[in-house]
Amino acid sequence: MLLQVKALKKSYDGAEGPVPVLRGIDMSVAAGDTLALTGESGSGKSTLLHLIGGLDSASSGEVLLNGQDICQMNDAGRAEVRRKNVGIVFQQFNLIPSLDVTANIAFQARLAGQYDAKAAGDLADALGLGDHLAKYPEQLSGGQQQRVAIARALAAKPQLILADEPTGNLDEATASEVMAQMLQLVSATGAALIMVTHSPRLADRMGRQLHLRQGVLV
Amino acid sequence: MNARVALFVSLLALVTAPWAAAQGFGGLGTQAEGFAAPERGARLDFPKDHGAHPDYRIEWWYLTANMTGPDGTPYGLQWTLFRSALAPFETQGWDSPQVWLGHAAVTTEQAHYTSERFARGGTGQAGVTAAPFEAWIDDWHMRGPDFDKMQLRASGSQFSYDVALTAQGPLVFHGDEGYSVKSEQGQASYYYSQPFFDLEGTLTLPEGEVTVTGTAWLDREWSSQPLASDQTGWDWFSLSFDSGDKLMGFRLRQADGTYFTSGTWITAQGGTAALPNGSFEAEPLAVTDVGGREVPTGWQVQVPDYGLDVTVDALNPRAWMDLSVPYWEGPVTVQGSHAGVGYLEMTGYD
Amino acid sequence: MIATGLSALWSYWRRNPLQLFTLIAGLALAIALWSGVQAVNAEARASYDAAAATLGEGQYDQLLPAAGEDIPQETFIKLRRAGWLVGPVVEGQVGPNGAQIRLVGIDPLTAPGGMGPLGGSGIQLPDFLSSPPVFANAQTADTLDGIIDAEIIIEPTVAPDTAITDVFTAQRLLDAQGRFHRLIMAPEQPVGRPPLARIAPELTRRAAQGGADVGRLTDSFHLNLTAFGLLSFAVGIFIVHGAIGLAFEQRRAMVRTMRALGMPLRSLIILMASELLVLALIGGVIGVCLGYLVAAALLPDVAATLKGLYGAQVSGTLQLRPSWWISGLAISVLGTAVAAIGALLAVARMPLLASARPRAWAIARGSMRRIQMGVSLGLLVTAGVLAYLGEGLIMGFGLLACLLIGAALALPLLLNGALGLASHLARGVTAQWFWADTRQQLSGLSLALMALLLAMAANIGVSTMVSSFRLTFTGFLDQRLASELYVSTESEAQARAFEEFVAPRTSEVLPLLSVDTELAGLPAAVYGARIGATYRENWGLLAQATEVWDKVGAGEALLVNEQLARRADLWVGDMLSISTDTALPIAGVFGDYGNPIGQAIISQTLFATLHPDIRATRFGLRTDDAFALRKTLTQEFGLPSSAITDQAQIKAFSLDVFERTFTVTAALNVLTLSVAGFAIFMSLLTLAGMRVPQLAPAWALGLTRRQLGRLELVRAVVLAVLTAFCALPLGLALAWVLLAVVNVEAFGWRLPMYIFPRDYLMLGMFALGAAVLAAAWPARKLARTPPADLLKVFANER
């Protein structure tokens, strides 16, 4: 099993004591799975995604990636997991504005030490970025920027892709197109995909759906 | 005795520093244009030749003594006046091209005190007159009515001495009647000695005054280019045996690792025999680290022709002369086929 | 991973070259001013040391003739032969009047080790002896060229205006055959030598002085320069701090993304620190090079000042010393570290999931603002306590530092308050938007404004001090230089004849009698004065006892100058010993501006008793008709006209010395202000890029781009004016500290403070001009922002 989440709990400090966000999550994802995480605002979907990606630390429970609990790792260990095993396509982790498209796509792969220029070029072509490689993020449209983020996540050849509303800022036509490209590329690499989305239509295109309500899976 | 040349030339070393290493110790192997050169067969003329020879580039009056205190404690002393000429003449006044250098030392088993003086000729600060004899620099002097009876004095910031010297034997001439060859290429100097001085007087040391008696050995040498350019240093011995016989011998170290040796066997009556190259042998037995340099301070000395086979050991292995030209010079004891005392001088070990 | 991280970090600078330039330029300027001043100081000190080493003064005991000037050569030989290890020195002046060179002859064989050109330099003894050349530095060599009949060899280690040669050559060139002027004693002497009195009773022994006197005298001057260098450095570090803060703020999002993509925090911090290290080194190297130029430009004036004030010879040419490089680079790295430590800590503490939007740059949030206010108040209170209790020059500078930093920290708070008030009072939408927006801008500009505040305050303070000094000094000269003519005679015999000749022709003859000595353990001079109408009428005293002139004239009391009184902590009524068995009460303290050493005045009669061998050869003459008297003296008595100086000449000379003293200060002033102007310019320019989102709404609501640009200019002017208003009281406080605290400690006199409103207005205009100039380009850039860029603000979230 690629990913196993066991009894995962997370609460934040509020003005009147701890505020529970995740109240005990159990789930597992196998290689090649595509999974949609849905739920209302504040239901804990993004927090769950952050914990799986090692971006945040849990209050209790386990997140086993290839059998290793990333909750027990220190910053350096989690950083290594992030650069080698996980690709993220989040709204908030934008592109690096001072690097051009090529360098942005290559960034994580280079960090992980597994950059393959040809594979990255193919990815860019597949995502329709071939003509924009020398441009900087500010010269791209929102859809193009998100395609670069997808290419960046995939170029590192991770086992697990995490996406948080990857098409949230895009118009519907573009969103649909980007989504299709992403799914196709993910399935081609054999990676697993966990995607947080509001959109039932996007969720329907995934292999499985999990719904979160008030910090528990329903 | 070439060794002394080097010291003397401590000043010349400054002149020739950049190529001294390549051209013999202290510049002694350099060409001597305009200066007079020693000639075989020339007769030395006394008392005139006790005095200075400004037309030769280098010259010295070099005295070493082995002494004992009232309780038998051994001491050594050294008194040296070097003359170095920048040009082969002398003038009266501050433009004199003659430079004088004095070295003095007292050695005990535990300590080694040294002092050094500089002066230029022509001013009266230093010089040598033949009769009555006086060699002086500053307050140091060696003087007397003649060469056989002299008073010797020197001082430094930690010591002084004042001793009387009385000759008990004749002058001794090295090499061919005083013409002493220093290399296979024929470099030579005029070289004679008075090795028969009796000495009595007073040493003033940091711990107080000591009355001493003993023997002293005075060397006189002058030349203009006594070393070959490939000679890098020397080991020089003056040994006085209990039998009354004496030995002067030196070993010139050459750049290719070979040696040129020479010496004089001196009988108790003052008879001499020159030792040709190779008949005087000296081999280091022990080395001492002094001031970061490895210096041989124990030797085996052999002269097979005279049945001599002795070990020579420094009284104080740390007798390093840390002066403007550094070298090792100190009293030694002799054991083996012959017993006695003497002085050892070594240069070119830095 | 390292390479990828570095290239991403570096890409930021590549895309924002202006910020990179600001950072490096700020560092370079800070280092330049600092190292420039250090270089000047080091050069001066090296000159003193070279002089001391060459001449053997200070390091060694010396034997001098008790009377006369010469020591016969035979005495030297006599001493040597008695065991005294002494080396002879011949010295004298060569060259034309006004450009005289001190020619020193030594005997390299007997001079104590390390003395003269043979110590450490490449000169070989035989060269020195066989054809004795003259050694001098390049400048001196030029002066000597053609004057002396000897080969000149350039040796940079020789002290300025000094030439060294063999004693024999010196005797020939100085026409002093057979004579020496002094003998230098080797530190180690042989045991058992006879006493000096038995060998050469005509000589006296003077003990080593353990450090050049001139070095002691000039210390305060160098400390002043150092303080200026530090101030400039502080201004520069403000700029660097700003640039680093901005760069780190703007890279927050990037840092977060890099971490999310798997860059460990530790590696990231190390990379950012090394990046800064490299920048600091680059800035340092440029700074040291610029510093060299600054030093080269300042040195001639500094040298002139030191010569005028203290008679110290300083080489006018710079030598590049390795120690500058080391200290310049070290301080560059250190300064960058100080400026960056906060930013690096912020990166280290920033949670991975926190908002990545740049906070308004270096915003003073509530808690920060309270801390800043607390620190500021603490420093100002410390300053007050120091002003009240502190003693010593270091304390004086401590006071200055507390005052300046405390005030600088308070500035943003004061400006914030003022702008808040303005926006409260404003009528009309545009005005309200303008004030509110200016207030928001404040956080981004506060560092630059602090720099401007410091620079302006320093300028006000120093110019007030200089001008007060000038006023006081001019007044002092008018009062002090009462004699209409000053005459030098050549010998005591001529002096006696002159006095007889001139007495009936003048209203008063004032002999100038003095001897250098030590008073209360300090270097000083004792003057013998003929107390008469001139003293009684002209000399104002800072403090005095009753019937002061009668007592001094009767030899019952003495006068001391202010610097001696303050340094030795003496005042009217205290006793002062002027010889081994004479001590007199102090009857008055006089101002003596411009004199570095202490001075006491006693009556001429008492002076003659104490120093019977010293006779006056110079005189001040009181007359109603200086022109006629001058004519009589030259035509009837036969004095050369060069022996007569009139009052006006001396005044001009004295004032000239002081003008030069402060040329240096003025130059540093201008440089500091320019650096501050540069800081504002750079801050505005970098902020301009971030301004678009803030300006877009105003543009959308109907302000034209031209109006927006104009408002940007107005904003700069408003902020500069407000800062100038804050700088005025601070500058005056600074001036007070300089005049009443630092000056007393450094020079020994306290100066009355004068206010120069017109100067301050000029300075305000200058600062305003600098602000406008600094704002002009950024404003123009804003005014030309393409509408598309403004629209983009609404089109997508940036």
What's the pLDDT score for residue B311?
96
ipTM score assigned to the predicted complex: 0.89
CA distance C177 to C195: 28
Task: Please determine, for residue C44, whether its predicted confidence score (pLDDT) is greater than 80.
Answer: no
What's the pLDDT score for residue C313?
63
- As a 3-state breakdown, chain B gives helix, strand, coil percent values, each rounded to 5, of 10, 55, 35
Residues of A in contact with C14 (CB under 8 A): 98
The pair of three-digit structure tokens given for residue B272, joined into one six-digit string: 């001499």
Task: Please determine, for residue B137, whether its predicted confidence score (pLDDT) is greater than 90.
Answer: yes
Task: Please determine, for residue A147, whether its predicted confidence score (pLDDT) is greater than 50.
Answer: yes
Closest in B94, B124, B160 to C168, CB measured: B94
What's the pLDDT score for residue C144?
84
Q: Pick B185 or C308 by higher pLDDT.
A: B185
Q: Pick B120 or C39 by higher pLDDT.
A: B120
Cβ contact C126–B95 (<8 Å): no
DSSP secondary structure of B338-350: S-EEEEEEE-S--
Q: How confident is the model at residue C766 (pLDDT cuts 50, 70, 90)?
A: confident
Q: How confident is the model at residue C367 (pLDDT cuts 50, 70, 90)?
A: low
What's the pLDDT score for residue B212?
97
Task: Please determine, for residue C527, whether its predicted confidence score (pLDDT) is greater than 80.
Answer: yes
What's the pLDDT score for residue B154?
96
Q: List the single range of A73-87, C40-54, C712-726, C762-776 with lowest mean pLDDT.
A: C40-54
What's the pLDDT score for residue C58?
57
Nearest residue to C243 via CA among C458, C507, C549, C29: C29
What's the pLDDT score for residue B220?
95
pLDDT over 70, % of chain B? 90
What's the pLDDT score for residue B5?
36
Task: Please determine, for residue C664, whether its predicted confidence score (pLDDT) is greater than 70.
Answer: no
Q: How confident is the model at residue C55 (pLDDT cuts 50, 70, 90)?
A: low
Q: How confident is the model at residue C60 (pLDDT cuts 50, 70, 90)?
A: confident
Task: Please determine, for residue C314, whether its predicted confidence score (pLDDT) is greater than 70.
Answer: no
Task: Please determine, for residue B60, whether its predicted confidence score (pLDDT) is greater than 50.
Answer: yes
**Mean pLDDT to the nearest integer, A6-35:** 88
pLDDT over 70, % of chain C? 82
What's the pLDDT score for residue C216?
54
A63, A195, B152, C777 from A3: Cα distances, Å: 7, 14, 102, 57
* Neighboring chains of C (3 or more beta-carbon pairs < 8 A): A, B
CATH topology of domain B2-346: AttH-like fold (2.40.370)
The chain C residues in contact with chain A (CB within 8 A) are 1, 3-5, 7-8, 11-12, 14-16, 253-254, 256-266, 352-353, 356, 796-797
Q: How confident is the model at residue C272 (pLDDT cuts 50, 70, 90)?
A: very high
CA distance A95 to C223: 52
What's the pLDDT score for residue B262?
92
**Mean pLDDT to the nearest integer, B63-81:** 96
What's the pLDDT score for residue C487?
85
Cβ contact A90–C15 (<8 Å): no
Task: Please determine, for residue B19, whether its predicted confidence score (pLDDT) is greater than 50.
Answer: no
Q: Pick C304 or B83 by higher pLDDT.
A: B83
Q: Pick C338 or C47 by higher pLDDT.
A: C338
Residue C464 makes CB contacts below 8 A (sequence gap 6+) with C731, C732, C735, C738, C739, C753, C754, C755, C756, C759
Q: List the single range of B122-131, C495-504, C701-710 with lowest mean pLDDT.
A: C701-710
Would you give the end-to-end CA distance of chain C in angstroms?
Answer: 28
What's the pLDDT score for residue C458?
78
CA distance C168 to C110: 13
Residue B194 makes CB contacts below 8 A (sequence gap 6+) with B147, B148, B167, B169, B171, B172, B217, B218, B220
Residues 2-21, chain B: which have Cβ within 8 Å of C? Answer: 11-12, 14-15, 17
**Mean pLDDT to the nearest integer, C88-109:** 81
The pair of three-digit structure tokens given for residue C342, joined into one six-digit string: 């906060």
What's the pLDDT score for residue C176?
86
What's the pLDDT score for residue B126?
95
CA distance A59 to C697: 43
What's the pLDDT score for residue C50?
65
To the question of pTM greater than 0.90 for the whole model, the response is no
Task: Please determine, for residue C160, whether its predicted confidence score (pLDDT) is greater than 80.
Answer: no
B206, C542, C544 from C562: Cα distances, Å: 52, 8, 12
DSSP secondary structure of A118-183: HHHHHHHHHTT-GGGTT--GGGS-HHHHHHHHHHHHHHT--SEEEEESTTTTS-HHHHHHHHHHHH
Q: Pick C797 or C252 by higher pLDDT.
A: C252
Task: Please determine, for residue C370, whether its predicted confidence score (pLDDT) is greater than 90.
Answer: no
What's the pLDDT score for residue C709?
84
Cβ atoms < 10 Å from Cβ of B169: 18
What's the pLDDT score for residue C494?
84
What's the pLDDT score for residue A177?
84
What's the pLDDT score for residue C687?
66
Q: List the single range of B249-253, B306-310, C717-721 with lowest mean pLDDT.
A: C717-721
Per-residue pLDDT tens digits for C432-486 = 888 888 887 787 777 778 877 887 887 788 778 777 877 777 777 777 777 888 8
Q: How confident is the model at residue B6 (pLDDT cuts 50, 70, 90)?
A: very low
**Mean pLDDT to the nearest integer, B288-298:** 89
Cβ contact A88–C261 (<8 Å): yes
**Mean pLDDT to the nearest integer, C161-174:** 86
Average pLDDT, chain C: 79
Q: How confident is the model at residue B86 (pLDDT cuts 50, 70, 90)?
A: confident
What's the pLDDT score for residue C99?
67
| Interface with C, mutate which of B15, B58, B125 (most C CBs under 10 A) | B125
Nearest residue to B350 via CA among B323, B330, B314: B323
Give φ, ψ of C473 to 5 degrees.
Answer: -70, -40
| Interface with C, mutate which of A49, A50, A73, A83 (most C CBs under 10 A) | A83
Domains present along chain A, CATH in parentheses: 30-57+76-217 (3.40.50.300)
Q: Does C468 touch chain B (CB under 8 A)?
A: no
Residues of B in contact with C191 (CB under 8 A): 155-160, 204
What's the pLDDT score for residue C209?
55
Contact present, A and B (at least 3 Cβ pairs less than 8 Å): no
Domain boundaries, chain B: 2-346
Cβ contact C12–A98 (<8 Å): yes
Nearest residue to C597 via CA among C524, C534, C655: C524
Furthest C-alpha separation in chain B = 54
Q: Are A105 and A185 in contact (CB under 8 A)?
A: no
Q: How confident is the model at residue B192 (pLDDT cuts 50, 70, 90)?
A: very high
What's the pLDDT score for residue B340?
96
Cβ contact B11–C125 (<8 Å): yes
Q: At what angle do helices C213-250 and C265-310 cross, to 10 degrees?
A: 150
What's the pLDDT score for residue B312?
97
**Mean pLDDT to the nearest integer, B23-34:** 50
Q: Which residue in chain B has the smallest CA separation from C128?
A: B15
C596: helix, strand or coil: coil
Please, which residues bridge with residue A213 across strands?
A: A216
Contacts 24+ apart (CB under 8 A), C317-324: C317/C137, C317/C138, C317/C139, C318/C39, C318/C43, C318/C292, C319/C43, C319/C46, C319/C156, C320/C292, C321/C39, C321/C42, C321/C46, C323/C42, C324/C35, C324/C38, C324/C39, C324/C42, C324/C288, C324/C291, C324/C292
What's the pLDDT score for residue C227?
67
* CB pairs < 8 Å spanning A and C: 83
Token look-up 């960056």 returns C340
pLDDT over 90, % of chain C? 9
CA distance C124 to C504: 63
**Mean pLDDT to the nearest integer, C52-70:** 70
CA distance B346 to C428: 102
Q: How confident is the model at residue C309 (pLDDT cuts 50, 70, 90)?
A: low
Q: List the single range of A32-41, A139-148, C220-229 with lowest mean pLDDT.
A: C220-229
Q: Are B172 and B218 in contact (CB under 8 A)?
A: no
Task: Please determine, for residue B180, whether its predicted confidence score (pLDDT) is greater than 60.
Answer: yes
What's the pLDDT score for residue C149?
81
What's the pLDDT score for residue C311?
58
pLDDT over 90, % of chain A? 29
What's the pLDDT score for residue B2?
33
**Mean pLDDT to the nearest integer, C724-735:** 89
CA distance B161 to B205: 9
DSSP secondary structure of C44-69: HHHHHHHHHHHHTTTTS-EEEESSSS
Task: Please determine, for residue C320, whether its predicted confidence score (pLDDT) is greater than 90.
Answer: no
Q: Pick C725 or C697 by higher pLDDT.
A: C725
What's the pLDDT score for residue B141?
96
Residues of B in contact with C80 (CB under 8 A): 119, 125, 138-139
